[in-house]
Structure 1
């Protein structure tokens, strides 16, 4: 009798990012051969060891892949947070870009599972009349991190080179002074021990229009759209010129600009988070599993009658 051919091992089952660190690798089961007389579906999976590009996946599989990858990266962000705290690092991350470029979306995913005492978001409103009389960078200084902190600026001192300049909220002299002072201000921050990362989210004209239309028609997003956003849309070319000059003056060796292609929200989030994790070397300080102690079994405590308390109506 002829010997049966040895079957090739199948790919291991997919594991969620949350369980990836727990599950031990096992021996994968061999796939069942196609039954005679029936057409077997073509196996679209990559061979073992090969990576499948998300572009070659179906829409459903691509979304699933992005969700798993985001979960994996968010676990790494928690590890980075603990490293920042343990080492007393001071981290500043700046997020800039056109309106509806996705800055808020990536900030939300970064902070989703982090400790707000360690990682905080700064999104300043328009300067007050008093702040307008101060040294331009002064109102940002109080929000800079102390040891063991990471601060995410949802727009920053670069407002002067962007919205303030395009909308005429500052003079040409003030813009020129900003371009002269900003590089040295950032070098000064870095000499003081601050790690500074600057991201520019680049969105196309067509994609911005699509997102603006979504905000107009979605009641949950309408608050995001302001008259200033609509005016910035009209002045697209002016913003482009302002951005180009801003890069020319402030893309310095010590603190370069990193451009994120933001036409795909999910790709932009993953690419930015992955770059952030790679930019700050860290070690895994995850503590050993803790054992939950039992509560005391005997106690003299007696709970007061619940009729003495006011409860939220149980509508649901």
Structure 2
């Protein structure tokens, strides 16, 4: 069934309440990161959903305070000619985490069940092979000890179009809007059917799908992060004690004259005039 405008939902969270809870959850994400690193765990989080459903903004908030050496974002471009001849899951497997790492897939192997299926970038046989192999692939990951979490961001048709139009008018975000995005407006029901079929085959006990209602981006971010934290048995790792050493006495060092170095212009000063 196609996703439609959901009418009057819960009241929109105030920015202050949202930011307060977001920071609390981000603090917990740092604890989760340290647990992953300390325990040598491997965590994979898959972000999928409609275009403009809020995946990128949620990923940005998840990783805002995390160490990029521990928590990596994987957003692969379209496959090369060589990659097209590989086993489909091969280029994704290359980016799976080692011990002590978290990987967040900003779109993933599920491209084959979504855009490739709808836009005809794969054959019907390749699509059916994906639906057969994907549950096997994910069961192998889970059996090997990887913590796999999959989130589908659901947005209504009216809200999606509103976000597309705002992107088109915003020079800082115009790059996020592509002809492929606009094509999705005319193929709404095709994407809905493809998603429903994908869920039938890949919403399995070992790696279930979790749907995030994202017409309200603030609620979506809080709900997704809180749920992720609730599914991982992490605990706080006591940080090592830090002792600041005393600053040594000056030994006569003098800074070179300022006119020997090139400084950036004080652009900020012009804003105060």
Of residues 75, 83, 92, the one that matches 1:123 is 75
Unaligned runs of 5+ in 2: 1-9, 269-273
Is it true that 1:308 corresponds to 2:244 in the alignment? no
Output one character per residue of 1:156-215: Cα deviation in whole Å (capped at 9) or x when no partner: 000000000100000000001001111011111111111100000000011111111111
TM-score (norm 1): 0.79
- 1:172-183 mapped onto 2 (5 Å cutoff): 172-183=124-135
| Cα deviations by residue, 1:3-50 (Å, 9 ceiling, x for unpaired) | xxxxxxxxxxxxxxxxxxxxxxxxxxxxxxxxxxxxxxxxxxxxxxxx
Contact 1:83 1:284 in 2 (8 A): yes
The answer to whether the aligner puts 1:238 opposite 2:157 as a matched pair is no
How far apart are 1:291 and its partner, in Å?
A: 3.8
| 2:62 is aligned with 1:113 | no
Match of 1:188 among 140, 165, 168: 140
Bigger radius of gyration, 1 or 2?
A: 1
- The answer for the alignment partner of 2:116 in structure 1 is 164
Match of residue 213 from structure 1: 165
TM-score by length of 2: 0.91
Matches within 5 A, 1:223-262: 223-262=175-214
**Partner Cα distance (1:224, 1:141) in 2:** 26
Equivalent positions of 1:18-37 (< 5 A) are none
Matches of 1:177 and 1:293 in 2, distance apart?
61
Aligned counterpart, 1:75: 27
- 3-state SS of paired residue (2:105): strand
Measure, in 2, the Cα distance between the counterparts of 1:299 and 1:75: 41
User: For 1:212, what is the secondary structure of its paired residue?
Assistant: helix
Deviations 1:60-91 (A, max 9, x none): x7321111110110110000000000000000
Shift, 1:302, TM fit: 4.0
Partner of 1:6: none
CA deviation after TM superposition for structure 1 residue 300, in Å:
5.1
**Of the two structures, which has the highest relative contact order with CA contacts closer than 8 Å and spacing of 6 or more?**
2
Tell me by how many angstroms 1:315 deviates.
Answer: 2.8
CA offset digits 1:129-182 (Å, max 9, x no partner): 111111101111111100000000000000000000100000000001001111
Aligned to 1:90: 42
Q: Distance in 2 between matches of 1:129 and 1:237?
A: 30
Q: Please, what is the CA RMSD of the aligned residues? A: 1.7
Look up the match of 2:6.
Answer: none
When the two structures are aligned, how many residues end up with a matched partner?
Answer: 260
Question: How much does 1:301 deviate?
Answer: 3.8
Task: Give the secondary-structure state (helix, strand or coil) at the position aligned to 2:14.
Answer: helix
**Residue segments in structure 1 that go unaligned for 5+ positions in a row:** 1-54
1:293 aligns with 2:245: yes
Is 1:100 matched with 2:55?
A: no
> Aligned equivalents of 2:162 and 2:247: distance in 1?
55
Q: Which has the higher helix share?
A: 2
Question: What secondary structure, in the 3-state scheme, does the structure 2 residue paired with 1:284 have?
Answer: coil
Distance, in Å, in 2 between the alignment partners of 1:262 and 1:191 is: 31
Supply the distance in 2 between the matched residues of 1:247 and 1:144 (Cα, whole angstroms). Answer: 22
Which among 134, 152, 168 is matched to residue 200 of structure 1? 152
